[in-house]
Structure 1
Amino acid sequence: MKRPLTVSRPELMPDGTDAAFRAMVHDTLAFAARIQEIRAAFGELLGLPASGYTLLMTVLHRQGRDGVGVSAVAEHLHLTGSAVTVEANRLVKLGLLEKRGDPADGRRVLLRATQRAEQMLARLAPVQAEANDALFGALDGPGFRRFAEAMHDLVGCADDALAILDLHRHRKSA
């Protein structure tokens, strides 16, 4: 029995079947799982959950002199503002983040990594570099640029796919 195709775009079926596409999806899932494991390991080395590590790294690298807004962090991480706020509150309690109102806009909350957090992340940096170099060892400079652009574009495509699935789920439940 011939199985139905899981894609219809010819660009995704170089041999006329969806076999290469399905193999790529499974490789992507395996790679994503390993990235999650690596992120969790970085967090573990700091005594944090993976989500705390990710938020702390994002704040450290995106903060200006005064900090970075919760909404900017949420947008960068493709999360909701409330999810960032919950994790930020945990990191504030641990003394790793500071929260304060934005003097220019009282409605905004700014996050800033504490000196303790900066020191912890500085100690982790050599381990991160070694692991990240290995993780992306198959990429040269042009390959990295293409991969980074593709990932950026694919996040938007994933949002489109989720919107399609939401429509189907809504129709099914109606």
Structure 2
Amino acid sequence: MKHARTIPILITAVLMAAGCALYNGDMSGGVYFDSSVGKEAYWSGAPARNSEVAVHFGETLHTESGAPACLSCHDGTIAKGVNYQLFKSSSMGSLGSHPTEVPYPAEWSGHTDFAPSADITLAGLRLLDGRVTCTTCHNLSLPVKYYLPVTMTGSALCLACHRK
């Protein structure tokens, strides 16, 4: 069967395209870039805008729920090779990555080591009710590796929030 591997890739491409479109609030149909396969994919349309939901690898995620939705797969046990532990030798203990579901420190008075929340919003990052979540740094609508709105070159993503 020559095309047996093509079908799952095509299905994934369509689902990812739908996720990007839904995340952007445009479900009218059309061609969307699918970063999972590096190609454009067609989506024929779906229900109207709902900015709180995204389809990611076939799963409907409520983006407003933050880490629990992401970690349902990205915990290193279900989806192999997509473990959330980015910095295994981190000073953050056993977490191994950036903390999520925490209040953004600049929202508290006296914390000058962090950029004002208005600055990080201008950089393309977003807070959920003043909290850092997975979607603060990972925007599923972006056609770039890891869905990062800010490059990691020169630690630019980190420096968008951290001043030290």
Q: Same fold (TM over 0.5)?
A: no
Greater relative contact order: 1 or 2 (C-alpha under 8 angstroms, separation 6 or more)?
A: 2
Task: Find the structure with the greater CA-based Rg.
Answer: 1
TM-score, with structure 2 as normaliser? 0.26
More helix by share: 1
TM-score, with structure 1 as normaliser? 0.25
